[in-house]
A and B are shown apart, each in its own frame.
Chain A
């Protein structure tokens, strides 16, 4: 099934840790294709946050980390800050679609 499923929303207090899941299937994450994560602040373009499942581009704080297992991937944010309030999208490749596949996005609210 060519879908990446994310929870619509997550929340946490400043300083806490939150995890956003991304569940796929045998034609994408389960097939071993890399997962990437993007952060989209309000009214801005998406920004690459994690690539290749676990790697951070230069300038991304180590409070952001990625992992994956089987048909799922996760983005974990520790030491939550107000500035982290944004939409987060996972992305992988889907062999059935023959192109990139994005998750539906998760809105992070910092309480």
Chain B
């Protein structure tokens, strides 16, 4: 059974940092690209960042570029998202999602998702 479990969310002040983790099981993690997607309360889904299977290719949404960093440790079946210089508008439920392929390809879908971890940004 494919499982993705996010952690690391919490309440943080504006300008501070947070590191999210996503531990996966049930599939060959090292063979797939991975993504972070967020959902603000009562809002829709927003793509945040993508990472290829070997960390050779990274993509970021303009809203987080230069502040967030996506990374992975294939030996630990783990995906990470470092959130720096947090803003109130970054508050959301953050999901990690598995790609259907190993590279970041335009045609790929997100076929499995975790339950998410909540990030709250407030002073």
- What residues make up the interface of A, taking CB atoms closer than 8 Å to B? 33-34, 36, 38, 44-48, 51-52, 57, 89, 91, 93, 95, 97-105
Contacts and interface: CB of A to CB of B under 8 A. Distances in A.
A39 B53 CA distance: 26
A102 B106 contact: no
A86 to B, nearest CB: 13
A45 B61 contact: no
Interface stretch (B72-80, B81-89, B109-117): B109-117
Nearest to A43: B115
A99 B44 contact: no
Report the 7 A-B pairs with minimum CB-CB distance, sorted nearest first: A93-B106, A100-B47, A36-B109, A51-B109, A45-B113, A105-B44, A102-B45
Interface in B52-83: 59-62
A100 B108 CA distance: 9
A42 to B, nearest CB: 12
B110 A48 contact: yes
Contacts of B35: 100
Interface residues of B, number: 24
Interface of B: 35, 37, 44-47, 50, 59-62, 95, 97, 100, 106-107, 109-116
A24 B61 CA distance: 18
Contacts of A101: 47
A104 B42 CA distance: 11
A98 B113 CA distance: 21
Given A101-B47, A105-B44, A45 B116 contact: yes
A45 B95 contact: yes
A91 B113 contact: no
17 contacts: A34-B106, A38-B110, A44-B115, A45-B113, A46-B97, A46-B110, A46-B113, A48-B110, A51-B100, A51-B109, A52-B109, A89-B44, A100-B47, A100-B50, A102-B47, A103-B44, A105-B44
